[in-house]
């Protein structure tokens, strides 16, 4: 089998295989990207690039059904969720089209001495490499490709081996929108070939969304070659519940935060930290609601939860659950059928259990009981990760106080599923560094050139 193939996780069928790029093809891709950066991307204005980015977003909506069907068969995302992802992509591209000129505008610098003026001018840095995962095939690319087109960088995009068809479809949209060949280039590269690309002096930076292991490997190579890196890696986000005036609504939010995309999201709520006064009621309602989530054929419009993305992912998740139970935890649900898992709940997870510090990438939640606010914060922060977090409380002062103490890049108070194009996305600790989305998405791979005029 080719490294790049569409294997339907719901059926196990190999739909189509794609040939891996040859070394000669990769060399030509880098050369074309460098040529386009030196030529077309430098010669066009930010305004012109913004309008093409807007067209890329519009094409996502025009081709929504086709694009959704692709990722349903690539990684098992339910069709309705696939459509939602595509609509979010359009919003991201439109956001950068609307604000790109302002983000890239010259910034005057007030001089403390001497006559004349000084200005900070933002421009592209060259060819940048994006290494993307399978769980949100279009969204991950939108938040990398959109801003870099605005900046004026040429993009090489290496997608996950199980997403070759969506990768191909995205390159087609960039070309159909009016970008020339070389501005956005899809490559089917191996890990060894990626190492060579990072070392190539024409490649100026690399952005990785993926596992901690992948991020560490790429960062090591980039460090040896003095290349800028943005890492958006794993997460084991806490969902802290200290008080609520509507427990049923809070439980509904908790379920949504855990089972979206079959629990395969880096910023999904995975550890539920509940005040002891609410614990028993929450656990009962939450367990019942999780068990009520039905799996189904992801092509069905009303499918709530599809399979995990692959047999490899399902095997890994099953092994994690087995080891958690062997370590003394109690599991309700989490039963496997092929690549499908029922939604479930783990309790009795102690600090020496593997589930306490590992990221569970599937539809099973860990629930803890805590005595007070201080213990809730300690437990929330007792993780090697620091991506996002969720806090539910009726006390506004408490919300801000705890938000200041949580070791994470993002805190959502009394809300889930509230990501937006203007909100910076990223984490700390072993969840990586750098930011995507918002104005910070245009600040990572950019040259901030100071021009001083006497």
303 catalytic, yes or no?
no
Q: Which two tokens stand for residue 199?
A: 């070392």
266 flagged as catalytic: yes
Buried (b) or exposed (e) across 251-288, using 16+ Cβ within 10 A? Answer: bebbbebbbbbbbbbbbbbbbbbbbeebbeebbebbbe
Q: Which among 284, 267, 293, 295 is positioned nearest to 427, based on CA atoms?
A: 267
Q: Are 324 and 318 in contact (CB under 8 A)?
A: no
DSSP letters spanning 142-204: HHHHHHHHHHT-EEEEE--TT-HHHHHHHHHHHHHHTPPTTTEEEE---HHHHHHHHHSTTEE
Distance CA 370, CA 282 (A): 13
Which among 50, 89, 163, 266 is annotated as catalytic? 266
Angle at CA of residue 143, ends 390 and 362, nearest 5°: 45
User: Rounded distance, CA 217 to CA 232, Å?
Assistant: 13
CA distance linking residue 246 with residue 414, whole number of Å: 11
CA-closest candidate to residue 289, choices 252, 244, 249, 243: 252
Select which of 74, 94, 232, 444 is catalytic: 232
CA dist 189 → 20, 171, 438 (Å): 6, 15, 29
3-state SS, residue 278: helix
Instruction: Write out the two tokens for 111.
Output: 């001089």
Could you tell me the sign of the dihedral formed by the alpha carbons of 316, 312, 332, 346, in that order?
positive
Smallest Cα–Cα separation from 387: which of 234, 284, 214? Answer: 234
Tokens of 121: 């001018």
Query: Largest Cα–Cα distance in the chain?
Result: 74
Distances (CA, A) of 254 to 73, 176, 328, 356: 27, 41, 24, 19
Residues catalogued as catalytic: 232, 266
């Amino acid at each position: 089998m080719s490294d790049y193939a569409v294997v339907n996780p719901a059926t196990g069928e190999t739909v189509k295989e794609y040939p891996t790029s040859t070394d000669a093809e990769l060399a030509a891709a880098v050369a074309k990207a460098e040529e386009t950066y030196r030529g077309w991307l430098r010669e066009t204005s930010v305004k012109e690039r913004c309008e093409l980015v807007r067209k890329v977003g519009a094409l996502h909506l025009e081709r929504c059904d086709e694009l959704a069907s692709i990722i349903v068969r690539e990684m098992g995302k339910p069709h309705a969720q696939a459509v939602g992802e595509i609509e979010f992509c359009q919003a991201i591209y439109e956001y950068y089209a609307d604000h790109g000129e302002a983000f890239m505008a010259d910034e005057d610098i007030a001089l403390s001495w001497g006559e004349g003026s000084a200005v900070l001018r933002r421009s592209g840095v060259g060819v940048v490499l994006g290494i993307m995962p399978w769980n949100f095939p279009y969204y991950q690319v939108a938040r990398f490709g959109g801003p870099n087109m605005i900046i004026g960088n040429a993009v090489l995009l290496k997608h996950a081996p199980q997403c070759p068809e969506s990768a191909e479809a995205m390159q087609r949209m960039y070309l159909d929108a009016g970008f020339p060949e070389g501005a956005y280039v899809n490559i089917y590269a191996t890990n060894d070939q990626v190492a060579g690309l990072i070392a190539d002096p024409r490649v100026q930076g690399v952005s990785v969304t993926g596992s901690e292991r992948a991020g560490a490997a790429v960062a090591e190579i980039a460090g040896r070659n003095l290349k800028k890196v943005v890492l958006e890696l794993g997460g084991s986000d806490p969902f802290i519940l200290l008080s609520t005036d509507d427990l049923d609504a809070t439980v509904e939010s908790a379920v949504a935060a855990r089972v979206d995309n079959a629990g395969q999201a880096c910023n999904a709520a995975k550890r539920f930290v509940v005040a002891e006064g609410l614990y028993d009621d929450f656990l009962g309602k939450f367990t019942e609601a999780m068990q009520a989530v039905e799996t189904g054929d992801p092509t069905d419009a009303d499918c709530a939860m599809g399979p995990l993305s692959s047999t490899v992912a399902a095997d890994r998740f099953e092994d994690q659950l087995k080891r958690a139970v062997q370590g003394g935890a109690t599991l309700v649900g989490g039963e496997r059928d092929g690549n499908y898992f029922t939604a479930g709940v783990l309790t009795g997870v102690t600090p020496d259990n593997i589930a306490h510090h590992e990221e569970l990438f599937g539809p099973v939640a860990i629930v803890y009981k805590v005595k007070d606010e201080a213990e809730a914060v300690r437990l929330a922060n007792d993780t090697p990760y620091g991506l996002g977090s969720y806090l539910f409380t009726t006390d506004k002062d408490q919300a801000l106080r705890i938000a200041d103490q949580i070791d994470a890049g993002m805190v959502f108070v009394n809300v889930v599923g509230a990501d937006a194009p203007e909100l910076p996305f990223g984490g700390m600790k072993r969840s990586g560094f750098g930011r995507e989305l918002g104005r910070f998405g245009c600040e990572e791979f950019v040259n901030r050139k100071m021009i001083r005029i006497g």
